Structure 1
């Protein structure tokens, strides 16, 4: 049986099965991660070599290099094809409503689990406030008004140069509306932008061949520097966070997926390449361009993908929300500080704001945590040093949960907007067409 991708490339189920196992991206990345763990464990001196770290950092930088043009082309193309300008605002409002509701579930789930399983009690440790001083300083300068002003770039070139997702998104939306207003005169420019998007996806197809190398370098360095010994008495928090994140994905996101009409496990199988890349690099941005392309092929409209995915990377951080509530309760328990119901309610309200304000900041998870702790109870801030050594082990799951949440959000908003192609959705999830290789979709674009 043969079918067509959304850009007109015929792909058969026989082609998918005939692909040698050693050429399948997710298998290559899995092997690379396993090798990285072994090298980091058996030879930490080699694993912490700057050149090993550079393998992971270099791959992430290669991906970030194309994020701004992909967002710009996708959003401009999606908006310029829309006849009704009000639709853009409608999609944006629906996305923000979804983000706030689901983020609240993530925060509440973290609080419930943190109270039911108080793994921080009895932890004998003395926090070193100096180890986290720079994050506390960043958090003290973080204000909501600065976040909103930062969405507006000082210059268009500056937005692209910095790779700031929200700044590029704002300019792309304005440019898309301007192109829409040109009518027939804008069609030639729109076609150029569409062709540019295909070319940039071609760049991504080339870069993705280096994904196993990047995953190996990042994982080897992480294990080599922090090592299994870094877990120590804090393994309870790591295990609890992993379990809570899994509960959120399989129960909360699973119910949302079932409501729309698909299976969460099949969806995770569809984006397994992206999940493994995120696992290896600890960065959800490393899979952003490929996720956008796959969601379009899954049956989501280009305009919804272009608006929801980039916005979600700042406003829909489910993994970060779970981390903040769990880590706050863990630190309070470890320091012997009882948090009242009002203070725990404050965690929900403050975390909802700080998770947005720290987007795009280096060490965003820790900066967010510092801002939340300072607002809830300043006495908790030095306790950040307790979880500092294991933060790297938790950042992978934060990133995995964030990217999964953004994928589900895009499908849901497409369904809510009435623009989800259910036939294509089920064809991809049931693997009657090959979803595994982004290169397939752009070779004849």
Structure 2
């Protein structure tokens, strides 16, 4: 994707772009206006939901081809297939370590703050029918089913189902086969590179309406759930948000410092993507831009192609924090005692149930239901207590997941000795010098 990135991004002084012409400013204005409409006219805000859904659907239709083309190009361009395996292994080890730390951090904070203690919520007062669909879907979540689902039933099915992990699996195999084909595969590799450029132009066309999509999505969230649900569970929400901030700026901040860069500068560089994640309550829609921007910043094409799509499934730091905190909070709120042994089991179970959560609609509730059902101690029906605030919680989960994957991409590129440190430092110091032309 080096060639792709060079054609897709050009140095441009920020003075040539008016402030209102920058995507992050337009998205921020869309979020602010959507919040205002959702608060003042809830019915109107709720009716604007199709705007956000349309943007997400348009971007999702291009994600599978972009992941496939990028990964195939990166792997087929490698001279040594052992390198791809080494990158994948390092990524998985890194993901397991960081997500375990996230789980433990959430567990420590929720036990110290105890936001659910004293609520004395009676299960009879909760409507279990509200979460019945989530509970039903949670029964399908198991280690075996997750691993089997990585393998697509058909090649076309991987693309039509929109399952990023299935597309990644096929792309890795195809890339290895193309590399083994040798010089005879050069025309195919050139075609893949040209197709990649076309798809990134397509994404650029779609992103022009991103502020409208963010406007509709946030208007729906505020209009449907309102400020009342936030106030009623504000203690738990505040605790969760603070924990995510602690993980990002302290935990990931230390990792970034050890790798020789500033987490604050990386966040500033990715501010447009972060605002879209906030507005749409999900990070999948920004994957194409994210992959290009990390390559433009100096990360190797092969690392970006393997780490980013894999990180979207395995490196869910925010989701892991939420799972342990939500499970213990519900136990506190329903006066369900949790011993140390129960909480250790909870961490172990969450390490398994959190995998693949990003690809599941309503993932927070489905995975939480699967977790509670597995440990069998906290009543699964108690998740109805969180139904009204899950949309707001998903924003913090998605932002934390996204930043975690960004840091992982840089760190693993540096471990591989394929981070252009001079380019990376320059881009982080001058984020406005890069303008994506797609």
Query: Normalized against structure 1, the TM-score is what?
Result: 0.95
Name the SS for the 1:283 alignment partner. coil
Corresponding position of 1:241: 240
Please give the secondary structure, in 1, of the residue aligned with 2:167: helix
Structure 2 residue 418 is the aligned partner of structure 1 residue 419: yes
- Give distance in 2, aligned partners of 1:433 and 1:28: 15
1:305-336 superposed Cα distances (whole Å, 9 cap, x missing partner): 01010011110100000000110111000001
Cα distance between partner residues in 1 of 2:140 and 2:68? 30
Q: 1:416 to 1:44 in 2, by over 3 A?
A: same
User: Does 1:109 pair with 2:83?
Assistant: no
Q: What does residue 172 of structure 2 align with?
A: 173
CA distance 1:433–1:335, change in 2 (3 Å) = closer
Alpha-carbon spacing, 1:314–1:6, altered in 2? closer, same or farther (3 Å) = closer
Partner in structure 1 of residue 59 of structure 2: 63
> Where in structure 1 are there 5+ consecutive unaligned residues?
none
Matches of 1:27 and 1:357, distance apart in 2: 32
Corresponding residue to 1:43 among 41, 47, 51: 41
Distance 1:108 1:41, change over 3 A: same
Show the counterpart of 2:71: 75
Report the count of equivalent residues: 433
How does 1:32-431 map onto structure 2 within 5 Å?
A: 32-49=30-47, 52-125=48-121, 126-431=125-430
Q: CA deviation digits over 1:104-127, x for unaligned, max 9?
A: 110010001000100001125432
User: Deviation above 4 Å: which 4+ runs of structure 1?
Assistant: 8-13
**Counterpart contact for 1:143–1:357, Cα < 8 Å:** no
Q: Please give the alpha-carbon distance, in whole angstroms, between the structure 1 residues aligned to 2:432 and 2:221.
A: 36
**Cα distance change on mapping 1:5 and 1:158 into 2, 3 Å:** closer
Shift of 1:11: 4.2
Q: Residue 390 of structure 1 aligns to a residue in which SS?
A: helix
Residue of structure 1 aligned with 2:24, choices 7, 26, 31? 26
**Aligned-partner Cα distance in 1 for 2:22–2:432:** 15
Distance of 2:431 and 2:316 partners within structure 1 = 32
Unpaired runs of 5+ in structure 2?
A: none
Moved more, 424-433 or 401-410: 424-433
**Distance of 2:316 and 2:9 partners within structure 1:** 36
Assess, with a 3 A threshold, how the Cα gap between structure 1 residues 10 and 166 changes in structure 2: closer, same or farther.
closer
Report if aligned partners of 1:123, 1:233 keep a CA contact under 8 Å in 2: no
CA shift in 2, pair 1:174/1:402, >3 Å: same
**In 1, Cα distance between the equivalents of 2:436 and 2:290?**
9
Q: Deviation of residue 372 (structure 1)?
A: 1.1
Q: Deviations over 1:117-150 (max 9, x none)?
A: 0000112543222211111111122221111111
CA apart distance, 1:432? 6.7
1:252-292 CA deviation, whole Å, 9 max, x = no partner? 11111111111000000000000000100001101111100
* Matches of 2:326 and 2:159, distance apart in 1: 34
Rounded to whole Å, the distance in 2 between the matches of 1:158 and 1:375 is 30
* Deviation for aligned residue 1:6: 4.8
Matches of 2:333 and 2:8, distance apart in 1: 57
Tell me, in whole angstroms, the C-alpha distance in 1 between the residues paired with 2:51 and 2:291.
24
What RMSD over aligned residues (CA atoms) do the two structures have, in Å? 1.5
In 1, distance between residues paired with 2:216 and 2:238? 24
Contact 2:27 2:275 in 1 (8 A): yes
Shift of 1:12: 4.5
